[in-house]
A and B are shown apart, each in its own frame.
Chain A
Amino acid sequence: MLITKLKSYNELIPCFSDKVFVIKCSGCKEVYLPEEEIDIFLEKQNQNIISIKRLDYLCNEDFSRTYSETYNNFIEKSDVVVIFSCGVGVQVISKILEYKKVFAGCDTNYINGFQGISAQSWDCRQCGECYLNYTGGICPITACSKHLLNGPCGGYKNGKCEVNSEMDCGWVMIYNRLLKQKKQEKLITKCRIRNYKKYISTDNKISK
């Protein structure tokens, strides 16, 4: 699930030196869009702004084409189009407005969960070879910061990860889960090596 954060002022201010048309993408607002921060920033830059539009789902190319047609007069008057959206929205608009300078106003980050708009407390990295059968349903790839598949690194302290002390050690969680199922012996029976080819190979995709 992706979320957006406002870029630093140092990076943004140069984008506003020419005439600017601004698009805010509110499609993922229920997930996270720093709209208040964006508005505070835009207020300070208003001398060069031609217009600000609050649209949604720029990632949908059909919609984005309609938007750019509808607001063509603003786009033509402007030197730069600044977009506050995730990286997908910026790429779609830049593809449509090939001859225009299109700038991103946000950085895109990642939080757990795919579906819908609620964040999740677990995650799936789509490795293509699910390990959950061996680990009591807790994913070592996403829950362990080192993505270890053969047990804990030994560096955890009080159940917390040594890389990031705010994070729970995934292997401690796995051990406790298996303990509940009285299957802790499972931990030493098998170790499967990860096949990275599955991760990068395009043949693996379901046929379109």
Chain B
Amino acid sequence: MIDYTKYKLKPVEEIREIFNQIDGSVFILICKKCYKEFSTNTELEKENLYNSLTEENKHKIVECIDIDFLCNNYHTKKAITDLSTKIIDFIKDSGAIGVISCGLGIQLVASLFEDKKVLALADSVPESGNSTSPQGYHGIALGKEKCGTCGQCYLNRTGGICPVVNCSKSLLNGPCGGAKNGKCEVNPDIPCAWEEIYFRLNKQNRPLLNEIQVRNFNIFPFKNKKEISEINLYSRGKDFLRGIHPLDKKNLTENSKIKTFPEPETVIIFLSQHAGAPAIPVVKVGDKVKIGQKIGEISGFISSPIHSSISGTITAIEEKTHPTLGRKMPAIIIKNDNKNEFDDSIKAVSLDNIPGEKVIEVLREKGIVGMGGAMFPTYVKLFSKKPIDTLIINGCECEPYLNGDNRLMIEYGDKIFKGIEIVKKTIGVQSVIIGIEENKPEAIESMKKQILGNDYIKISILKTKYPQGAEKILIKSILNRQIPEGGLPLDVGVVVLNISTLYAIYRAIYEGMPVIDRVITISGDYVKNPGNYLIKIGTPIKSIIDFTCGSDFIKSDDKNKKIFMGGPMMGILQMDIDTGLIKGTTGLTIMESYPVESSEERECIKCGRCVDVCPVDLFPLQYYYYGKKQDWQKTAEYKVKNCIECAACQYICSAKIDILKYIKKAKKYAYNKT
């Protein structure tokens, strides 16, 4: 790995001179460096700094502080405002602030403390030698290839070897003639780029230059540069800071109406389809069950009952691989008798004159859980004793490929609105806000129509950005409230419900129907008939794949296929397809697997991209670094509890490190300890 460290300490004499001119104390900020092999060690810089100072000057230093990615505007500002008052006093009283960083970090600190003297104690390291334009450009990986960012790529003419950076004279019309034994005359350590170009083109039987492109130094005007910087800063800063914009491919299914998926032959209904204790089966093998009949009972304060989604006979109660937990869990297997008989318990509930607690009880009995994926029992959320002032309806669906909630809003806006009314009445909130991303104009229109004339309910149109739909982020975007570390939305007086959950609530009350089916999106590269389907809970994944990808899909070479329950970002990779759909399944995406898999083993190069995309202001690279060392104390100090596991860091990671694995381990430790 090439070390592209951007700075080194100034020469000793210069540092001494700088310090001699300072009256009063000096506060030192050190950048932890980037583009290098990971280490958090800045001791060497400190030591060298102290060694180059005289005794008298050493005493001028009051405090040294290390900062990750000092040039990162947002984080550095935050880190400085978060410093303890004692340290801030040091800064106020000090005669100067010394910065050990590349020029970017120093300029940032200087702009933050405009009225303070800011000392540059380091020089940036010139990287690319002869490049005639801004330097050090190596994409994002630490390779040898450089790009001179000339704005008129010559690589098409030169067989992929760049004359602008590789020829020390940046010649564009052939060799200068000064090369000796294939080496450059300016610097005999480097090969003559034009000879390399000649040999490369020979291999491809291509002529060397049949035309010359003259270089235009004005190709990228300042105006465009500024424009692009502004677009970039804007798109990253809107609503919540950072986040990512993955390829969403929503167009595959956004216009396909919700269809009913064919009735399954058998269903696999897991006893654990919710956060909390698994349900206890109340039926036995051989029993006949009807649609909507309760087959599993609540077994703790946080739990939920389960219901049969078809009518038929119970053939087994056995262990199957759970689609989200990934381990064997008990499930009830029911064979369909295709009689479609409904259970007697399915009766609409009259809302007149019944107290809120009664409604919550109905919702509990009907097995309503958060259907956005987390599967937290809804009755627990609504039963909270904490004061709640706002109900947020999550219609973001920021996950790529998925359109289930979008279609529900378009087609069943009236029912969702009725669901909102039920919840509003039950918990007595004054204000309801529906958050919808701006890429769903049809859904926004449909919901606007529904809420007409109801002042308490508003639609908040949010920027399309992942992970806009994560609870914590949504609350921040809409209400600008910050959930405390390890806390819940209830802690800031908010209940967040997902569109599918509201639809289920509507059906539970107005139709008496427990959660036996839901709308999911089936999409992805391999799906022949992508669409949004109303599908029974417990439908085997295998039968879904047979239906959507053809029955020979499974038999053929499986290495290149990935089946995600959910979308490609937060969805869970299915290793075993002998499993069934659960209440929290938002979709099924069947994708071509990516040639380079994320791995825990690769080396971090400290490019800082994960820090830049993290929507909750964490430093994901630290979880990798300390996780690898199994230093779980440190990962907890870096607030791993705040992580929402959106996987944005893993998505952007330029080294393709499986950061999420480290985060999950670190979280486990953080929660077990307290």
Q: Interface on A for B, CB 8 Å cutoff?
A: 2-3, 5, 7, 11, 15, 26-32, 54-55, 57-63, 66-67, 69-71, 86-95, 98-104, 106-133, 136-139, 142, 164, 166-167, 177, 180-181, 183, 198-202, 204-206, 208
Beyond A124-B107, A125-B103, A164-B221, 17 additional pairs, beta carbon < 8 A: A86-B137, A88-B146, A88-B147, A91-B161, A94-B155, A109-B149, A110-B134, A122-B108, A126-B102, A128-B125, A130-B120, A130-B123, A132-B118, A137-B118, A202-B187, A204-B126, A206-B3
12 A-B interface contacts by CB (under 8 A):
A7-B153, A86-B147, A98-B204, A108-B149, A109-B149, A109-B151, A114-B34, A123-B134, A125-B135, A127-B126, A129-B123, A166-B222
Question: Counting CB contacts under 8 A, is B484 at the interface?
Answer: no
Please measure, in the bound complex, the distance between the C-alpha atom of A98 and the C-alpha atom of B147, giving whole angstroms: 19
Nearest chain A CB to B456's CB is how many angstroms away?
Answer: 38
Question: Counting CB contacts under 8 A, is B595 at the interface?
Answer: yes
Nearest chain B CB to A122's CB is how many angstroms away?
Answer: 4
Nearest chain B CB to A162's CB is how many angstroms away?
Answer: 13
Q: Interface on B for A, CB 8 Å cutoff?
A: 2-3, 5-6, 8, 10, 18, 34-35, 69, 71-74, 102-104, 106-111, 114-120, 122-127, 129-130, 133-141, 143, 145-153, 155-156, 159-162, 187, 189, 200, 203-204, 206, 219-226, 228-233, 236, 244-245, 247, 595-596, 607-609, 611-613, 652, 654-656
Closest 8 CB pairs of A and B: A137-B110, A94-B160, A59-B139, A124-B103, A87-B147, A60-B141, A116-B612, A119-B229
Give the residues in chain B near A100, CB-CB below 8 Å: 204
Give the residues in chain A near B232, CB-CB below 8 Å: 31-32, 111, 117-119
Minimum CB distance partner of B220 in chain A: A109
Give the residues in chain B near A89, CB-CB below 8 Å: 139
Check if A54 sits within 8 Å of B247, measured CB to CB: yes
Give the residues in chain B near A180, CB-CB below 8 Å: 114-115
Minimum CB distance partner of B107 in chain A: A122
Check if A124 sits within 8 Å of B104, measured CB to CB: yes
With A30-B244, A166-B226, A181-B116 known as contacts, the answer to whether A61 contacts B148 (CB < 8 A) is: no
Check if B153 sits within 8 Å of A90, measured CB to CB: yes
Check if B111 sits within 8 Å of A124, measured CB to CB: no
Nearest chain B CB to A2's CB is how many angstroms away?
Answer: 5
Check if B139 sits within 8 Å of A27, measured CB to CB: yes
With A106-B153, A118-B72, A128-B124 known as contacts, the answer to whether A63 contacts B596 (CB < 8 A) is: yes
Give the residues in chain B near A115, CB-CB below 8 Å: 34, 69, 71-72, 104, 607-608, 612
Please measure, in the bound complex, the distance between the C-alpha atom of A28 and the C-alpha atom of B228, giving whole angstroms: 14
Minimum CB distance partner of B110 in chain A: A137
Give the residues in chain A near B652, CB-CB below 8 Å: 30, 117
Check if A3 sits within 8 Å of B228, measured CB to CB: yes
Please measure, in the bound complex, the distance between the C-alpha atom of A2 and the C-alpha atom of B187, giving whole angstroms: 27
Minimum CB distance partner of B560 in chain A: A70
Give the residues in chain A near B115, CB-CB below 8 Å: 180-181
Check if A132 sits within 8 Å of B107, measured CB to CB: yes
Check if A67 sits within 8 Å of B595, measured CB to CB: yes
Nearest chain A CB to B272's CB is how many angstroms away?
Answer: 36
Nearest chain A CB to B425's CB is how many angstroms away?
Answer: 43
Nearest chain B CB to A100's CB is how many angstroms away?
Answer: 7
Nearest chain B CB to A71's CB is how many angstroms away?
Answer: 8
Check if B153 sits within 8 Å of A87, measured CB to CB: yes
Check if A60 sits within 8 Å of B655, measured CB to CB: yes
Identify which of A61, A87, A137 contacts B141 (C-beta below 8 A): A61
Check if B156 sits within 8 Å of A15, measured CB to CB: yes
Please measure, in the bound complex, the distance between the C-alpha atom of A177 and the C-alpha atom of B652, giving whole angstroms: 37
Check if B135 sits within 8 Å of A2, measured CB to CB: no
Nearest chain A CB to B268's CB is how many angstroms away?
Answer: 34
Minimum CB distance partner of A82 in chain B: B156
Nearest chain B CB to A106's CB is how many angstroms away?
Answer: 7
Minimum CB distance partner of B148 in chain A: A87
Check if A87 sits within 8 Å of B117, measured CB to CB: no
With A128-B125, A206-B5 known as contacts, the answer to whether A111 contacts B229 (CB < 8 A) is: yes
Nearest chain A CB to B555's CB is how many angstroms away?
Answer: 21
Please measure, in the bound complex, the distance between the C-alpha atom of A166 and the C-alpha atom of B613, giving whole angstroms: 30
Nearest chain A CB to B602's CB is how many angstroms away?
Answer: 9
Give the residues in chain A near B73, CB-CB below 8 Å: 118, 120
Give the residues in chain A near B244, CB-CB below 8 Å: 30
With A107-B153, A115-B72, A181-B117 known as contacts, the answer to whether A61 contacts B143 (CB < 8 A) is: yes
Please measure, in the bound complex, the distance between the C-alpha atom of A69 and the C-alpha atom of B155, giving whole angstroms: 22
Give the residues in chain B near A118, CB-CB below 8 Å: 72-74, 232-233, 236, 612
Minimum CB distance partner of B144 in chain A: A61
Give the residues in chain A near B596, CB-CB below 8 Å: 62-63, 66-67
Give the residues in chain A near B595, CB-CB below 8 Å: 55, 63, 66-67, 69-71
Please measure, in the bound complex, the distance between the C-alpha atom of A99 and the C-alpha atom of B224, giving whole angstroms: 37
Please measure, in the bound complex, the distance between the C-alpha atom of A65 and the C-alpha atom of B584, giving whole angstroms: 39
Check if B145 sits within 8 Å of A88, measured CB to CB: yes
Give the residues in chain A near B102, CB-CB below 8 Å: 114, 124, 126
Minimum CB distance partner of B611 in chain A: A116
Check if B219 sits within 8 Å of A102, measured CB to CB: no
Nearest chain B CB to A124's CB is how many angstroms away?
Answer: 3
- Highest count of chain A CB atoms <10 Å: which of B8, B71, B119: B71
Please measure, in the bound complex, the distance between the C-alpha atom of A74 and the C-alpha atom of B609, giving whole angstroms: 31
Give the residues in chain A near B5, CB-CB below 8 Å: 206
Identify which of A87, A110, A117, A202 contacts B220 (C-beta below 8 A): A110
Nearest chain A CB to B413's CB is how many angstroms away?
Answer: 30
Please measure, in the bound complex, the distance between the C-alpha atom of A123 and the C-alpha atom of B115, giving whole angstroms: 21
Please measure, in the bound complex, the distance between the C-alpha atom of A9 and the C-alpha atom of B8, giving whole angstroms: 44
Give the residues in chain B near A198, CB-CB below 8 Å: 123, 126
Check if B140 sits within 8 Å of A206, measured CB to CB: no
Identify which of B104, B126, B145, B612 contacts A128 (C-beta below 8 A): B126
Give the residues in chain B near A102, CB-CB below 8 Å: 155, 159-160
Nearest chain A CB to B648's CB is how many angstroms away?
Answer: 10
Check if A202 sits within 8 Å of B189, measured CB to CB: yes
Please measure, in the bound complex, the distance between the C-alpha atom of A13 and the C-alpha atom of B243, giving whole angstroms: 35
Give the residues in chain B near A112, CB-CB below 8 Å: 225, 229
Please measure, in the bound complex, the distance between the C-alpha atom of A127 and the C-alpha atom of B129, giving whole angstroms: 10
Nearest chain A CB to B492's CB is how many angstroms away?
Answer: 28
Give the residues in chain A near B71, CB-CB below 8 Å: 113-115, 120
Give the residues in chain B near A117, CB-CB below 8 Å: 232, 236, 609, 612-613, 652
Give the residues in chain A near B117, CB-CB below 8 Å: 181, 183
Check if B124 sits within 8 Å of A137, measured CB to CB: no
Check if B233 sits within 8 Å of A104, measured CB to CB: no
Check if B114 sits within 8 Å of A177, measured CB to CB: yes
Minimum CB distance partner of B134 in chain A: A110
Give the residues in chain A near B203, CB-CB below 8 Å: 98-99
Give the residues in chain A near B123, CB-CB below 8 Å: 127-130, 198
Give the residues in chain B near A63, CB-CB below 8 Å: 141, 595-596, 656
- Highest count of chain A CB atoms <10 Å: which of B8, B110, B116, B607: B110
